[in-house]
Amino acid sequence: MTTASMATDNPFVDPTSFEDGRGSLAADTLALGRSISLTLGTDALIVLDEEFEKRDRSNCCGLWPGTAANTRAIPFYNILWAELKDSELTINYASPNSKTSVRAATLKYPIEYQMVELVNLFTKRLLDRAYGESQQRKRAKVLVNPHSGKGSAEKWYFRDIEPLLKAAQITIDMAKTRHKGEAVDIAEKMDIDAFDIIASCSGDGLPHEVFNGLGKRPDAKKALSKIAVVHIPCGSGNAMSCNLNGTDSPSLATLAIIKGIPTPLDLISITQGNTRTLSFLSQSVGIVAEADLATEHLRWMGSQRFTYGFLVRLIRKALYPCDIAVKVAIDDKSSIREHYKREQKNHEPASERRGYKFLLDDDASASTGSGNDDGLPPLRYGTVNDKLPEGWELAPYDKLGNFYCGNMAYMASDANFFSPALPNDGYMDLVCINGDISRLEAMQMMFAVENNKLFDNPGVWYRKILGYRIIPKNQEDGYISIDGERVPFAPFQAEIHKGLGTVLSKTGHMYEAPGPV
Ligand SMILES: Nc1ncnc2c1ncn2[C@@H]1O[C@H](COP(=O)(O)OP(=O)(O)OP(=O)(O)O)[C@@H](O)[C@H]1O
């Protein structure tokens, strides 16, 4: 890490720093002068620059704790780009701005012409360490919903998101959505060979539209596999980003996406009437659907409106009677816990995991129903209009308070509702809760969600399932939510397709939520 020994014939390079023991160049430390060096450390780029000390004295910011005044340790995760251009080495990185945000920053160093080869080697190694399995210079179709949340998406895009994407050399093609459904058309018609990701600066509503747009294409399977659908949180419901980026901060989510690893995501086909749509997040009938959808007029409250809507209905002890048939895969909590632990340990090695490759749902070949070779996979359990599949039985749930089926763990930033959920295990997680439990019990459940203890609550019926049919009864009208979007109050059927979609995640195989305790 030291730059003390300088080569006599070149005052700016210490050749010994570049030896890897076999006589070839291994750029670990780049000495750029008597007071400047860049070193590839274990997890970070160590920048030693006496100028830092002078700058810090005049405007102390202390953004990189634990290092000397003349040294910065910039985690490789924060390195956005590095290149040598016009005799200048430029390093772009994400600098902490506050506890919950980063902003693009740059270091620039003039380079002597004798050093060009070494510096190019150094930048290549730095970028390899900075990106690992993540694709460099992704090509992004970006959608901004100016109507999302409290209406700040556009401001956040230009202030917090775009500068980071540009600093990471991401190619951007941005469009603002003008009305509901436009993101479906954009995803349906986009040139999938020209892009790697489609990023929605929005709530969860726009990614839902994007999955459905890709699903409408004649080459749906290929499109859903090749294009990673990603979410930059700017709405009131930002579950997708919490699960995959580990944050609801727009700038931190942007950084997570820049460094994201392609991850297959299970998608769910919903048939209702004569329609077939895709769900990536959740379906709910009962209290959760109502708390979300019946509170649209309270948008000014931000995410608090869900809690408010939930509490009001809890006090009323509302019941939502339904007949339900479920195709169960795992039906007891200890086996679900085992399954989660096994999947956590036994994920495929990184080298064998799917990148942006075309991967088919193998099980689909044994299916019945609509579908073709290139579009969406056929439905193995048929549609809601068909007779019940063999082995399915409708059972009355007359005291139902909450039917909630999840494909991701967090349903909001502080609600880890489905802690055993996994992106690609081929199962949906189903929670059923009776509506006639005492108010005290219901309040305890609400707090259990925040403390990651809901799974173990004895009043929570938790199953891993492959499909279901639900038929609301004895109610004139009500709310059904698919990924937070309202659909008609009518029977529907759901089935899962293992790994049909692609997203980017931090680990490549898990959600950013604590598993079941
Ligand atoms: N310009 C627009 N005007 C009105 N609605 C739009 C516009 N662009 C997109 N939409 C629609 O707004 C809906 C909600 O969007 P989104 O999820 O991004 O925001 P949100 O604030 O989190 O919403 P929600 O509170 O419903 O979760 C989507 O159905 C989307 O199609």
**How confident is the model over 475-506, as pLDDT tens digits?**
888 889 999 899 999 999 999 999 999 999 99
Ligand 1: which residue has its CA nearest to atom 10?
A: 180
Pocket test of ligand 1: the residue of 143, 144, 147 to mutate, having most ligand atoms within 8 Å of its CB, is 147
The residue annotated as part of the active site, out of 204, 361, 425, 429, is 204
- Domain 139-259: homologous superfamily in CATH: Probable inorganic polyphosphate/atp-NAD kinase; domain 1 (3.40.50.10330)
Distance CA 225, CA 505 (A): 15
Q: How far does the centroid of ligand 1 lie from the alpha carbon of residue 366, in Å? A: 37
**How far apart, in Å, are the Cα atoms of 517 and each of 338, 416, 435, 452, 456?**
11, 12, 25, 8, 8
- What is the average per-residue pLDDT within 222-246? 96
Pocket test of ligand 1: the residue of 142, 144, 148 to mutate, having most ligand atoms within 8 Å of its CB, is 148
Ligand 1: which residue has its CA nearest to atom 3?
A: 179
Q: Are 433 and 459 in contact (CB under 8 A)?
A: yes
- Whole-number pLDDT of residue 22: 38
- What is the average per-residue pLDDT within 399-427? 92
* Atom nearest to 180 CA in ligand 1: 31
- Between CA 102 and CA 112, with CA 106 as vertex, the angle to 5 degrees is 160
C-beta neighbour count of 231 within 10 angstroms: 29
Distance CA 421, CA 129 (A): 30
Q: Which 8-state DSSP code applies to residue 159?
A: I
Distance CA 63, CA 93 (A): 13
Pick the closest to residue 249 from 261, 228, 231 (CA basis).
231
Strand partners, 433: 402
Q: Which 8-state DSSP code applies to residue 19?
A: B
* Atom nearest to 145 CA in ligand 1: 8
What SS3 class is residue 160?
A: helix
Distance CA 125, CA 358 (A): 29
- What is the average per-residue pLDDT within 392-396? 95
Radius of gyration of the chain (CA): 26
Ligand 1: which residue has its CA nearest to atom 7?
A: 179
Q: How far does the centroid of ligand 1 lie from the alpha carbon of residue 206, in Å? A: 7
Q: Active-site residue 204, yes or no? A: yes
Residue keyed to tokens 């694709």: 135
- Whole-number pLDDT of residue 359: 37
- What is the average per-residue pLDDT within 215-240? 96
Query: How many residues are given for the chain?
Result: 517
Q: How far does the centroid of ligand 1 lie from the alpha carbon of residue 369, in Å? A: 32
- Whole-number pLDDT of residue 311: 61
- What is the average per-residue pLDDT within 418-436? 93
Q: Does the Cβ of 233 fall within 6 Å of ligand 1?
A: no
- DSSP E strands, 20-138: 29-33, 36-40, 44-49, 71-75, 79-85, 88-98, 101-110
Residue 299 confidence class, pLDDT cut points 50, 70, 90: low
Residue 446 confidence class, pLDDT cut points 50, 70, 90: confident
Yes or no: domain 268-365+389-496 corresponds to CATH 3.40.50.300: no
- Whole-number pLDDT of residue 152: 93
What SS3 class is residue 486?
A: strand
Ligand 1: which residue has its CA nearest to atom 15?
A: 205
Q: Which helix (H) or strand (E) holds 116?
A: helix 116-131
Pocket test of ligand 1: the residue of 145, 296, 298, 305 to mutate, having most ligand atoms within 8 Å of its CB, is 145
Q: Which 8-state DSSP code applies to residue 25?
A: B
Q: How far does the centroid of ligand 1 lie from the alpha carbon of residue 244, in Å? A: 20
Strands 410-412 and 282-286: unpaired
Q: How far does the centroid of ligand 1 lie from the alpha carbon of residue 484, in Å? A: 10
Does residue 258 carry a pLDDT above 90?
yes
Render pLDDT for 173-195 as a digit per residue (tens, 0 to 9). Answer: 999 999 999 999 999 999 999 99
* Atom nearest to 238 CA in ligand 1: 22
Q: How far does the centroid of ligand 1 lie from the alpha carbon of residue 166, in Å? A: 25
Q: List, in order, residues 6 or more apart from 289 with CB less than 8 Å away.
A: 478, 479, 480, 481, 486
Of 1.10.3470, 2.30.29, 2.60.40, 3.40.1620, which CATH number belongs to 15-131? 2.30.29
- DSSP E strands, 86-204: 88-98, 101-110, 139-144, 171-176, 197-202
Distance CA 505, CA 134 (A): 10
Residue keyed to tokens 């999840």: 406
Pick the closest to residue 428 from 476, 381, 385, 475 (CA basis).
381
* Atom nearest to 202 CA in ligand 1: 18
Residue 355 confidence class, pLDDT cut points 50, 70, 90: very low
* Atom nearest to 182 CA in ligand 1: 31
Distance CA 247, CA 484 (A): 19
Top pLDDT among 318 and 294 is at 318
Structure-block tokens of residue 167: 């600093």
Q: Does the Cβ of 248 fall within 6 Å of ligand 1?
A: no
- Whole-number pLDDT of residue 61: 45
Indicate if the alpha-carbon torsion angle 191, 192, 197, 202 is positive or negative: positive
* DSSP-assigned letters across all residues of 264-280: EEEEEEEEETTEEEEES
Average pLDDT of the residues of the chain = 85
Distance CA 402, CA 318 (A): 9
Distance CA 410, CA 425 (A): 16
Q: In the chain, which residues fall in CATH 2.30.29?
A: 15-131
Pick the closest to residue 418 from 443, 454, 448 (CA basis).
454
* Atom nearest to 235 CA in ligand 1: 22
Pick the closest to residue 404 from 301, 334, 306 (CA basis).
306
- Between CA 214 and CA 469, with CA 491 as vertex, the angle to 5 degrees is 80
Q: Does the Cβ of 204 fall within 6 Å of ligand 1?
A: yes
Q: Does the Cβ of 481 fall within 6 Å of ligand 1?
A: no
Ligand 1: which residue has its CA nearest to atom 30?
A: 180
Distance CA 290, CA 309 (A): 7
Ligand 1: which residue has its CA nearest to atom 13?
A: 205
Q: In the chain, which residues fall in CATH 2.60.200.40?
A: 268-365+389-496
Does residue 368 carry a pLDDT above 70?
no
Structure-block tokens of residue 465: 């399932």
- DSSP E strands, 380-513: 395-397, 400-406, 410-412, 415-416, 428-434, 461-472, 480-482, 485-487, 492-505
Q: Does the Cβ of 282 fall within 6 Å of ligand 1?
A: no
Q: In the chain, which residues fall in CATH 3.40.50.10330?
A: 139-259
Distance CA 76, CA 128 (A): 9
* Atom nearest to 205 CA in ligand 1: 17
Least-confidence region, from 11-20, 183-192, 315-324, 325-334: 11-20
